[in-house]
Structure 1
């Protein structure tokens, strides 16, 4: 147990399953919030102060209560703190094709007046912008599959329907700002799975394992943002192959910031894998740091990705080289990024470009 914990961690966790006027969701959604809250506040895991972890469930997750909770989070989280916002529930798409936006459906949302009874992406983005913490991570677990036609549309049984999900523009909007990042449970054209009888959704199952230490493969004693997404994005497709792929959005991240303590701050490889696995992970981490340093504009810089046999059209580009490199290497680890590229070919090209760089020369293939 860490005697000091992680007092700089603050969280607002929201879950809605039993909507008043919209189709309901599985009980797993409420379990997700309770289990994430317990993990964050556990001295054996993330070690947040319990008073810094606020949950809003079902009848307590009204539009007014959620906005008040965000306002209170902005008040208590200072510039040097880390803030997390987690939402599990319905999301809806509004607007015309080509100009779509999204809303967060609160427990009291009414499809007959959705714009005034939900939280629009603009309102949510404005609330997030008031949070002064230099490190803010937003989790969105929506587009849930389960129940009648939930994956396609939201219904109130009175003839009103709303397309379920979130638009890609919304995700980007919510990640705007220095030190801001967003992790969503699935792509816009996918659904977030909840298996029958499962305690948690597929996304939150992986997230919980990551927060409980599995994402800290280098045994640093911290759960870091890129490492957490790396873990979740690799584990979810294992649980539901080819059907769900978490996405990550970041506008301006300057580093792989800590989200929480790992296993109470213990620097141990117990239950995190063998030493060999940690060394392999380190090879990828070291290469990523060096590529960010040597090719700061990302995989397009000096055409390094293409020269290594990669296909740039297979990559997702972000506003910073750091975030783009992180996503590119994650794709590469999963066998993507182009048929002709792999760890070895990328390393070889970098060594050809910088033959006298001592750290690069020392990197070995995992």
Structure 2
């Protein structure tokens, strides 16, 4: 059966490598945008309508053009659509200590007048807020090292310098709103790597693999937001051990929404929608779904995390229970969340609280 595609998918993809007045970036930055656009538009992968995928590269990515592109995206996208915004280029930290902000550096940005020639985080957040889609995913890859050199500074030929990167505060600002999520290439104190000779940045290499089906672990026919981040966050450290860790932000995300089709929408003969819990999914996925059901307010609900030996202060808490559990279990899977908590201790506590729960009783530690 021929796929009907994913006509509700829209994307604005922006990449700048060759700046007019700022230090340049590797050509992989432009390849990132081109390859993400091709993957989203491919009928064998994400199956977006090609007319719904807009790219702005280098000279096209002026401050005015990026803001206009966001306005046009907001005008085209309806509440039931899915929207993706992808930026790859320089980010810069501006403002005084204690009152710092971050900006996206467009191709026409001038370091001598950066606040008026770039896009501030509050300005970008306001533009994103105009997009009425219930599913909005923003990708920010704006902490690059300049060229092959590891540098945390932006420079021009006039002696101006700014700290490179994008702050935690700015990331959080961009994720505000129901159904909105942000995925960034690295933590605020890290550099987004481009390996010498590679076609794509490390982050986009993993992202492309995820979008091309690797993130759809159980062949459901969809690439979903939590699954995509899980894949990217696990693959990037394999390529750059201990040096780069993608981050995920969501202020009010209630569901693991679909970002795109997977392999054109092809499902396995027996997908998770029709498979009894635990037979197709791995133990971590089953535990997550059960904890969301039983402790809907997150790891602090009934003090389940603390009673299992965990430390809530080691978690990045979210106002939404589902997002909080997703983040907490990912942290636990990576060895964090407290010295004395484990999959087994968390499962044991849940079984003690709900001794008659059949699915819990069947679940075993991996």
- Distance in 1, matches of 2:177 and 2:244, equals 27
- Distance in 1, matches of 2:316 and 2:67, equals 32
- Distance in 1, matches of 2:199 and 2:287, equals 38
Check whether the contact 2:224–2:259 (CA below 8 A) recurs between aligned residues: yes
Matched, 1:297 2:258: no
List aligned pairs for 1:113-124, cutoff 5 A: 113-124=113-124
Check whether the contact 1:8–1:81 (CA below 8 A) recurs between aligned residues: yes
Which residue does 2:19 correspond to in 1? Answer: 19
- Offset from partner CA, 1:180-233 (integer Å, 9 cap, x none): 000000000000000001000010011001101111112111100001111111
* Counterpart secondary structure, 1:170: helix
More divergent stretch after superposition (304-313 vs 227-236): 304-313
- Distance in 1, matches of 2:50 and 2:222, equals 18
- Distance in 1, matches of 2:206 and 2:350, equals 33
- Offset from partner CA, 1:14-71 (integer Å, 9 cap, x none): 0000000000000000000000001101011100001111000000000111111101
- Offset from partner CA, 1:158-188 (integer Å, 9 cap, x none): 0111110011110000000000000000000
Which residue does 1:101 correspond to in 2? Answer: 101
Q: Note the C-alpha offset of 1:317.
A: 0.9
Which residue does 1:316 correspond to in 2? Answer: 316
- Distance in 2, matches of 1:2 and 1:34, equals 26
* Counterpart secondary structure, 1:140: strand
Which residue does 2:228 correspond to in 1? Answer: 228
Check whether the contact 1:206–1:235 (CA below 8 A) recurs between aligned residues: yes
Q: Note the C-alpha offset of 1:149.
A: 5.8
* Counterpart secondary structure, 1:102: strand
Structure 1's 149 and 99: CA in aligned 2 closer, same or farther, altered over 3 A?
farther
- Distance in 2, matches of 1:176 and 1:32, equals 26
- Distance in 1, matches of 2:337 and 2:214, equals 25
Check whether the contact 1:146–1:193 (CA below 8 A) recurs between aligned residues: no
- Distance in 2, matches of 1:166 and 1:13, equals 18
- Distance in 1, matches of 2:308 and 2:201, equals 38
Check whether the contact 2:47–2:261 (CA below 8 A) recurs between aligned residues: yes
List aligned pairs for 1:174-213, cutoff 5 A: 174-213=174-213
When normalised by structure 2's length, the TM-score is 0.95
Check whether the contact 2:17–2:58 (CA below 8 A) recurs between aligned residues: yes
- Distance in 1, matches of 2:163 and 2:220, equals 43
Aligned alpha-carbon RMSD (Å) = 1.8
Which residue does 1:151 correspond to in 2? Answer: 151
When normalised by structure 1's length, the TM-score is 0.95
Q: Note the C-alpha offset of 1:2.
A: 4.4
Q: Note the C-alpha offset of 1:335.
A: 2.0
Matched, 1:36 2:23: no
- Distance in 1, matches of 2:23 and 2:148, equals 8
Check whether the contact 1:2–1:265 (CA below 8 A) recurs between aligned residues: no
Structure 1: gaps spanning 5 or more residues:
270-274
Structure 1's 279 and 15: CA in aligned 2 closer, same or farther, altered over 3 A?
farther
- Distance in 2, matches of 1:2 and 1:258, equals 20
- Distance in 1, matches of 2:149 and 2:115, equals 22
Which residue does 1:272 correspond to in 2? Answer: none
- Distance in 2, matches of 1:34 and 1:7, equals 20
Q: Note the C-alpha offset of 1:280.
A: 7.5
Residues paired across the two proteins, number: 360
Q: Note the C-alpha offset of 1:322.
A: 1.2
Structure 1's 59 and 140: CA in aligned 2 closer, same or farther, altered over 3 A?
same
Q: Note the C-alpha offset of 1:150.
A: 6.1
More divergent stretch after superposition (176-185 vs 297-306): 297-306
Structure 1's 362 and 51: CA in aligned 2 closer, same or farther, altered over 3 A?
same
Which residue does 1:361 correspond to in 2? Answer: 361
List aligned pairs for 1:49-198, cutoff 5 A: 49-147=49-147, 151-198=151-198
Structure 2: gaps spanning 5 or more residues:
270-274
* Counterpart secondary structure, 1:84: strand
